A and B are shown apart, each in its own frame.
Chain A
Amino acid sequence: MIKAILIFNNHGKPRLSKFYEHYNEDIEQQIIRETFHLVSKRDENVCNFLEGGMLIGGSDYKLIYRHYATLYFVFCVDSSESELGILDLIQVFVETLDKCFENVCELDLIFHVDKVHHILAEMVMGGMVLETNMNEIITQVDTQNKMEKSEVCAGRYCRSTCSCCISCKEHEPPGNAQKHQHWRHKHKSAKFTFLQIVAARS
């Protein structure tokens, strides 16, 4: 079982935290901090396994991590998981992110943490490995994004939301994005007139 998946940067700022067991927020933060301290002081060319910290785990648990540029990907797993297997899984995860975000960088994770969660949900479910085939993961993620997009486009006039905006911004050609902006302006002005009406009535 995987107990937790953490992504944080070289300064220990959390970029994603997924706990498959409940902790309250304070403990979660402590765990992230502790894990960061454990992991960050290790050299680059040492092994990727680490006996768990005080807070998370115990003797049966291990931290398995990989360090990519500015980000640490840390999995806390128990003895039923294969160590090398989890290392592979982290690699699959990162490659999937790379495909989904097109040259993923830390900023993508910062601004689209929800998307990262959705991708992760296709790989690991409730602490158990769900899918390890990258193509399958990407297919599922894409289909869901398309569904989201179609819902958004259907109700764009008055129902577009945050995440829809992202998807429009990201996936639509620039022309469309401008159109989207245009909509925003239109609404802005609409609000203006609306305010004027209210003023006139009173």
Chain B
Amino acid sequence: MALKIVKGSIDRMFDKNLQDLVRGIRNHKEDEAKYISTCIDEIKQELKQDNIAVKANAVCKLTYLQMLGYDVSWAAFNIVEVMSSSKFTYKRIGYLAASQCFHESTDVIMLTTNQIRKDLSSPNQYDTGVALTGLSCFVTPDLARDLANDIMTLMSHTKPYIRKKAVLIMYKVFLKYPESLRPAFPRLKEKLEDPDPGVQSAAVNVICELARRNPKNYLSLAPLFFKLMTSSTNNWVLIKIIKLFGALTPLEPRLGKKLIEPLTNLIHSTSAMSLLYECVNTVIAVLISLSSGMPNHSASIQLCVQKLRILIEDSDQNLKYLGLLAMSKILKTHPKSVQSHKDLILQCLDDKDESIRLRALDLLYGMVSKKNLMEIVKKLMLHVDKAEGTTYRDELLTKIIDICSQSNYQYITNFEWYISILVELTRLEGTRHGHLIASQMLDVAIRVKAIRVFAVAQMATLLDNAHLLTGNTQRNGICEVLYAAAWICGEFSEHLENPMQTLEAMLRPKVATLPGHIQAVYVQNSAKLFATVLKSQEGDTDSTAAQEASQLMIDRLPLFVQSANLEVQERASCILQLVKYIQKLQQKDVEVAEEVCALFAGELNPVAPKAQKKVPVPEGLDLDAWINEPPSESESEDEQPKAIFSKEEPKHSRPRHTEVDEKELARRREARKQEQANNPFYIKASPSSQKVYQEAPGVEHIPVVQIDLSVPLKVPGLPMSDQYVKLEEERRQKARAEKKKKEKKKKKEKRSGRGKKHDSGPESEEDIAPAHMVDIVTEEMPENALPSDDDERDPSDPHKALDIDLDKPLADNEKLPVRSHRAVEIQKSPVEDGERENATSEEPKKSSKEKKEKKDKDRDRKKSKEEKKKKKHKTEGKKEDLLGSQMDEPVVQSDETNEVAAPPASTSAEVSDLDFWLSNAPVPSNTQEVATVAAAAPAPGAPSVTAPDSEPDEPKDTEIEELKSSKHKKKKQKKEKEDKEKKKKKKHHHHHHHSDGGGEESVQNGTMEEEEPLPPMSNYCLLAENNYIKMVSDIQGNLQDGSQVVVSVIFENKCDSFLKSMEFNVMDSLNSKLQRPDGSSPHDGLVVPFQLPPGVSNEARFVFTVQSIVMPQKLKGTLTFIVKNEDSSTHEKLDFKLHFTCTSYLITTPCYSDAFAKLLESGDLKSSSIRLEGVNMPFHHLLARICFHHHFSVVERIDSCASMYSRSIQGHHVCLLVKTSGQTVTIDAKCDEPTLLGNVLDEIKQTFSQC
């Protein structure tokens, strides 16, 4: 064995390390792959060795190879091995490798849970840090669930280094395990006010990230962020907060109003460009959210635009870019203020930087109007000519089309101009956007009836000159426009001047080189043209033209019949037969035109893009159900080839049949028509409209093509669209003159068609009349279309799951999976490897148990959510009623007691808090806090007075989370008091990290108005104390397990020495036992998982199992510890008695009055009662005391009478009816366990006898 180790370490001396590997790769430039593969073989050998150092070295090299693109997932298990090394050096290597190559489907990840948990609680902060960093990269839903609680504990770690990492990683945990968001959120919120700026910044970061996706859930945090914004000096934090406000303002315009002033101040004062820029951005967002333009807002816009202009004019390209980016946001709502900077933006179009040009283009999109569209597009066309790179030119092209087609061609006054622009664009060399141009042509031709004559003429020219477009078919995207051209010419062939010529152009042999889908359109539309030719020749005595057309078709179509493309072939053979038949009829002088035209009769209407989606699924139709039994795999495989074969057979033979059975044809046509008529989804139009538009296969370049466009143009020489600009100018002038004349005449005229374009103009606000009658046909929708379903979120978006209401108080069952004795176990495990292995083998069992628990919990949660919803409605309704009449009393009550009893009450309170905060007039930023508080005071009885930023419902740890907010409040106050008493400035533990006094004051403000404030209360009672240490404890039942209670003990070091090796031990009784890790004897103590420097306190939790809970009991225990000075260390011990009262088995459980009444009626409960004399305190204090000390909740309170409820961990119901008159309090109680009830009542009595 020893020999083996020696051998291993010696061999290792010759191993390559990372540097050797890199050097080797650099020296083997020619055969790198080969060299690396030998290296990987070496690494595989190294990984087989036992020596962890060798393994770590190998894993380190693998990480490098991973970066070079080698798959190293095969070493995942070795990575886990290295991660679990006890040495930081290796651990770090392991975690780095894991973070680079683990992902959700890496199966060994599930083996890491325990290791990571161990590292997270390591006494060495860097072990924890490394684990957190690694985990942030490969956290899975399982890991998130299992570790959420551990990470949450780390959020309150004493070291800010760990805190900030823990806070950041929570975001990843939320994403993977959304259930953790609600339990963890209060603590996250608490971290916003962490004393360490790094932690604060991390918390802001996480909340911003969360709020960006689901802003509405975070609105209630606005006041807190506002405070941070006005107080923070960290630009990173400020930027994040300001960005967050940008996301929140759209939801709450009042927030925007409040923000404008501090933001403008920041804009004026800051020297940091990044901050200035974000401020401007958010001001813009605010301005967008404020729909009505208030006078002082136009000043803000001016300020923004002015600052942005400075950015854009800056020589720094980055600022220029950002300036343009922000400008485009203003543009959406305040186009006017941007339009005045048109010069600047057009100037940016000439910038050498492509990013900047693209941004400028974006801006142009919003700057066009009817007036300047032509001018701007003309400029862009010039740029198109100049642009060198195809990407930029393509971008220009799409932008031109975007600009022109935006909002239903709103700004186009002359569609002839637009068609000519489109035709000009076809000259673009090597564009990828042929299909875009084509679809525009189609769209315009279909939807603008008046333009069809012109469009058809232009398209005919295009078809005639097709050879120019198709120079190099292989890489040609522009030939797509021929698709549109052919279709337009065919569909609207009645407008063609010379259909015969176009028909000829469409049947040229060269067409066969076009992509299949275009050929198919050619063939189909040639048939349409043919029909038109026939029709036009009908009645002519000389029918030669018609016969020529037939002959032409018969001559040329066989070329397409041979096409390899099925679609082309099929259509061609069909049409060929048809034409042959027609030719026969022609020779017999039969008039066929009518019938042939009938083939293509019907008007085509555009259909809205979402029409199909909006058709509701008829009732009883299950789209997922099979219509027939699904064919078995083998069957389909057997039969398919046959079917294809038999189908193809007649097709091939078809050309040979010179005659088609006309009856059969008619029958089929009839049947098809019938079917179409019955099919609600069939668009009744010409058959060609069914064609699916296909993307062109990868086409990129064509050589420069110059189309001779002199034919359609009246002014040869000029690029044609320019001509329209001139014409337009003239037209507008004329129109203006006309208008003046007409005004004199006071005679209204209707819009005229394009024929009369010069003699009329409607009274448009822009004074520009469209040249054509722009009857843009609205897109059809199915009759029973469902209203809007537009902004559906991507179901796979992980943020969807995080859309969780965070203002609702936590339910009892909402907590993170906790492992008992986590800390202690971990403390022990690093010491003994054997034990660790134990834990590992134990893990799967536990986690499966946890899973089960989780399922149950989920079910519970659903239920409770539903209940809550109901309840919420109720309380809201109630609130409205109350607001009308007796404001003061009931509201105060809700403030005092409902907060304890009914969770929803505080929700509404929080909402109204926000309302209140927002309704405040904007105040100067630095006096904000004071002003809120001051303004709060004179508003009597309003529940909203409590400033929400001080809403103290941040539970201090998981156990306490179960409690209701009032309890926290009191606890906080108590802590506050403790702090003051001790005058301890050092606040090491999180419990003492409180917000500054401002928040606290306003809490008191909230409770002060009517009744005097509650005295501070605490459930932590002194356990034992000596010169060195003080222990206070609180005992809580565990709702999830009826036989567990959790004892939280705060240890406080009172001396000047270091306290370490604390061990907590309790003598078990028959009924109650301290839970110890498996394998330890019942006399072993538990190690307290921390050490205490002087003056520091920290909290540890211990779990006890109890069998019977009806009787109180006491357990004797001892704490042993070592007191360490510079020179000496002594063993000390402290005895204590742990008092398990019956109260500690009760759990605050809200109960609704109806359920409460039922419970009392059921008759299962035994009753008992007590009288308390000489109780000298307000009734609400009395109730609060019972709630707080004895874990009750108030069900209902009427004047000086209240019903209360609680439940034991084993499910006993305890109901109280508390009445007060003078100094006497009577408590009638009912419970299903009389002994328990008796004890609880005794304890209540004792509580009040003490005060």
Contact = CB atoms under 8 A, between A and B. Distances in A.
B182 interface: no
Nearest to A158: B9
A121 B133 contact: yes
A51 B358 contact: yes
A48 interface: yes
A188 B13 CA distance: 8
B89 A129 contact: no
B93 interface: yes
A111 B236 contact: no
Interface in A79-103: 80, 82-85, 87-88
B503 to A, nearest CB: 42
Given A49-B321, A51-B358, A187 B236 contact: no
A191 B925 CA distance: 74
Interface in B1-53: 5-7, 9-11, 13-15, 17-19, 22-23, 26, 53
Interface stretch (B55-63, B377-385, B653-661): B55-63
Contact of A125 (B103, B168, B278): B168
B51 to A, nearest CB: 8
B1216 interface: no
A162 B353 CA distance: 46
A125 B133 contact: yes
Contacts of B601: none
A46 B321 CA distance: 10
Overall SS of chain A's interface: helix
Interface stretch (B205-213, B284-292, B1116-1124): B205-213
Interface residues of A, number: 68
Nearest to B324: A47
A105 interface: no
B18 A111 contact: yes
Contact of B317 (A46, A82, A125): A46
A46 B315 CA distance: 10
B69 A47 contact: no
Contacts of A47: 317-318, 320-321, 353, 355-356
B779 interface: no
B89 A152 contact: yes
B66 interface: yes
B206 A128 contact: yes
A130 B18 contact: no
Interface string B622-645: 000000000000000000000000
Interface string A22-45: 101110110000000000001101
A184 B66 CA distance: 29
B57 A161 contact: yes
Contacts of A121: 96, 130, 133
B165 interface: yes
B96 A84 contact: no
A187 B18 contact: no
A57 to B, nearest CB: 14
A53 B1055 CA distance: 62
Nearest to B321: A47
B7 A194 contact: yes
A85 B201 CA distance: 14
B1199 interface: no
Contacts of A174: none
B654 to A, nearest CB: 45
B355 A187 contact: no
Interface string B676-696: 000000000000000000000
Interface string A149-180: 00110010011111111100000000000000
Given A126-B169, A126-B171, A113 B64 contact: yes
B774 interface: no
B755 to A, nearest CB: 44
Contact of B355 (A46, A131, A132, A159): A46
Interface in B308-338: 317-318, 320-322
Nearest to A139: B161
Contacts of A143: 126
Contact of B57 (A22, A80, A117, A162): A162
B118 interface: no
A46 B22 contact: no
Interface string A51-90: 1000000000000000000000000000010111101100
Q: Which of B66, B169, B318 has the most CB of A within 10 A?
A: B318
A98 to B, nearest CB: 20
A192 to B, nearest CB: 10
Given A17-B67, A85-B239, A111 B22 contact: yes
Given A130-B165, A151-B88, A152-B89, A84 B57 contact: no
Nearest to B127: A147
Contacts of A126: 133, 136-137, 139, 168-169, 171-172
A82 B14 CA distance: 49
Contact of A118 (B70, B96, B172): B96
Given A24-B71, A144-B92, A162-B60, A129 B205 contact: yes
A130 B13 contact: no
Nearest to A30: B69
Nearest to A169: B19
Contact of B88 (A83, A125, A147): A147
B1021 interface: no
A134 interface: no
B172 A163 contact: no
Contacts of A194: 6-7, 10
Interface string B165-207: 1001101100000000000000000000000001001100110
Report the 9 A-B pairs with minimum CB-CB distance, sorted nearest first.
A126-B136, A162-B17, A84-B274, A22-B103, A47-B317, A46-B353, A29-B69, A158-B9, A47-B321
6 contacts: A20-B137, A24-B71, A126-B137, A147-B124, A165-B19, A166-B19
Given A25-B70, A82-B277, 7 more contacts: A20-B137, A49-B322, A111-B22, A125-B132, A128-B171, A151-B87, A184-B13
